[in-house]
Structure 1
Amino acid sequence: MTTSSHEDSAPPLDASPARALGDFIRAHRERLSPQAVGLPPGPRRRTPGLRREEVAQLCGVSPTWYTWIEQGRPVSASAEALARIAVALQLSRAERAYLFELAAQRDPAEPDPAASDAPAMLLKTVQLVNAPAYVLDRQFTALAWNAPASDLFVGWLDGEHDRNLLRYTFLSPQARRLIVDWEIRARRLAAEYRADSIRHQNDAPTRSLIDSLSAASDEFARFWASQDVNEREGGQRQFDHPRDGHVVYHQITFKPAHREDLKLVVLVRE
């Protein structure tokens, strides 16, 4: 990236979305102390956080270019430059995803969308687990599951059913009978998918899933409209199983290295 040859002719300010991107970057720069990035505190600062030129130096970009980005000017920002900014500002995973969404860029750290095949060893791993276990793709559709999972999740992983967890939870009467505190769990699931799908929410399969669920389920539409965001976490899960009665599990979710679009979910009986 070379901007020095154009530094004497700044592009005009833009209202949106470049402005929103600049505001987001500036807010996080101002939260970061020099000590946090290994810089001496130096003399008294007029503004909180790092200076623009310090962030530019950490990113390896022109200070003028970085200033224009913060000011919301419509300059070109490559995915690689945004990745360096994300690292320099020590953004969390959710914050990094939001940064790339604002910039309408794909994070280079994300797996190639064309690489849709799950690693074969991951799918085999599910069969080696004695507890209920399954693998979800980026639309929360089960790609693989074992016999204990099939036994537990009646109406989803047994027999011939739609394997999408969201459609099962919101559209299947069996899910409402199986999942204890259904509304709490369903609301949480919608919030988890909102957080997870921010990186690919404009992909056709994701958009189609959200739109179809919003049309078919008033609860999903309401939960989705709430803008709640949560990471997919573990914790206690309770079920009223038609054969085994009330059962309690602890859910653990793993994300394979280099394929964070996939999830290995294991439920351990308490």
Structure 2
Amino acid sequence: MTTMARETATSAVPARPAATGQDPDPVRPAGAGVAPGAGAASRAGEIRRHELATFLRSRRERITPEQVQLPRGRRRRTPGLRREEVAQLSAVGVTWYTWIEQGRDIQVSEQVLDALARTLLLDTSERAHLFQLAGAVDPTPAAQCAVITPALRQVLTQLEPVPACIQNSRYDILAYNRTYARLMMRDLDTVPPADRNCVLLAYTNAEWRASIVLLDETTRLMAAKLRASMAGHLGEPAWKTLLKRLRAESAEFRENWDRYEVAATRGKTKKFANPYVGLVTVDHTDLWLAPDLGARMVTYPPHDEESRERLEKLHAIVLEAEAEAEAEARAENEDRAGARSRVEAAGAV
């Protein structure tokens, strides 16, 4: 009995394969147990770390000590800054920074990347490149917004009477033309910049909501699109703030958000009850400006001839209102100038 028990226990331990160089388990295919694509992912990570190391080294070598208020010294053989100088200025350990430049497989925090970007005097594009190579999200607000250049504003104006705006992935309205400002309400300019968010307006602004013909369908879809877009920004302060505000101010949003539906951004025919010209049917079209940031130009070309005529009429109303406002401003300036002249003349007597 004792012998049998010992033999059973021994047989339960798998024998080591003989050192023949063959697969110890001929039934299992080679590479089994390794996640699909793991090798490619590892190579991609290695390439990215190498690019990060090379990029940091090139930026370090172009910065002179004088640019960062350091003495040059007599025995400086390294072009630009030394590694220990970059580490010191960035409040990072010398060994840690050396590992980054050596392409070691380490996780670099957003705080360290931010410090390195400041030390190395990186511009906006270089900073974005640094964070992208490190596989990190830049936490600074400036990195979350598309730059609205004068050229983009000119494009928005040239598109009139077609309503158009520029939005980011959070559906913040960053810029817009005059017909867009009056498409879904009497004047978007009256809305504080912090409230110019399509999702927020669709759920909380009575005038904006009144213009949406298919309101229930639209608000439910917008919650699904916001959830899909937010997947790439979990934990970011601006997104958390928007979500918290929407949940606090709209029971309808809470209900739709808790459905856990997702939807992609795509073109669609939309109908708006415009307060100036009545029903307008348009085709929602996106022109992506910076896919990594979600920035896009949204345009609403007319879907039919009647809508085209109504958008032209809306544009004419806008231009007429602007002309009247400019005339009133000129008249006020002339009145003030005349009053000053009379006061000065009276004082000279």
TM-score (norm: length of structure 2) = 0.47
Match of 2:179 in 1: 148
Contact 1:151/1:158 (8 A) holds in 2 = no
Deviations 1:120-157 (A, max 9, x none): 03233211212000111343221211111122120562
By how many angstroms is 1:176 displaced? 2.5
By how many angstroms is 1:257 displaced? 3.7
TM-score (norm: length of structure 1) = 0.59
Amino acid aligned to 1:256: L
Indicate the percent of aligned positions where both proteins have the same amino acid. 22
Structure having the higher Rg: 2
Moved more, 194-203 or 162-171: 194-203
Structure 1 residues 54 and 252: CA distance shift in structure 2, 3 A: closer
Instruction: State how far apart, in whole Å, the 1-side matches of 2:219 and 2:187 are.
Output: 15
Instruction: State how far apart, in whole Å, the 2-side matches of 1:183 and 1:226 are.
Output: 14
Structure 2 gaps of 5+ residues are 1-28, 48-104, 110-134, 304-349
Deviating beyond 6 angstroms after TM superposition, the runs of 4 or more aligned structure 1 residues are 43-49
Q: Does the alignment pair 1:129 with 2:167?
A: no
Structure 1 residues 268 and 111: CA distance shift in structure 2, 3 A: farther
Instruction: State how far apart, in whole Å, the 1-side matches of 2:41 and 2:288 are.
Output: 31
Instruction: State how far apart, in whole Å, the 1-side matches of 2:286 and 2:40 are.
Output: 38
Contact 1:156/1:163 (8 A) holds in 2 = no
Match of 1:189 in 2: 222
Question: In structure 1, the residue corresponding to 2:286 is in which secondary structure?
Answer: strand
Instruction: State how far apart, in whole Å, the 2-side matches of 1:259 and 1:58 are.
Output: 19
Higher helix share: 2
Instruction: State how far apart, in whole Å, the 2-side matches of 1:51 and 1:143 are.
Output: 39
Q: Note the 1:4-15 alignment, pairs <5 A.
A: none
Structure 1 residues 50 and 137: CA distance shift in structure 2, 3 A: closer
Match of 2:266 in 1: 233
Greater RCO, 1 or 2 (C-alpha within 8 Å, sep 6+): 1
Q: Does the alignment pair 1:242 with 2:270?
A: no
Structure 1 residues 55 and 119: CA distance shift in structure 2, 3 A: same
Instruction: State how far apart, in whole Å, the 2-side matches of 1:45 and 1:152 are.
Output: 59
By how many angstroms is 1:106 displaced? 2.8
Q: Note the 1:71-150 alignment, pairs <5 A.
A: 106=136, 113-115=141-143, 116=145, 118-120=147-149, 121-130=151-160, 131-150=162-181
Amino acid aligned to 2:173: A
Structure 1 residues 174 and 119: CA distance shift in structure 2, 3 A: closer
Contact 1:123/1:135 (8 A) holds in 2 = no
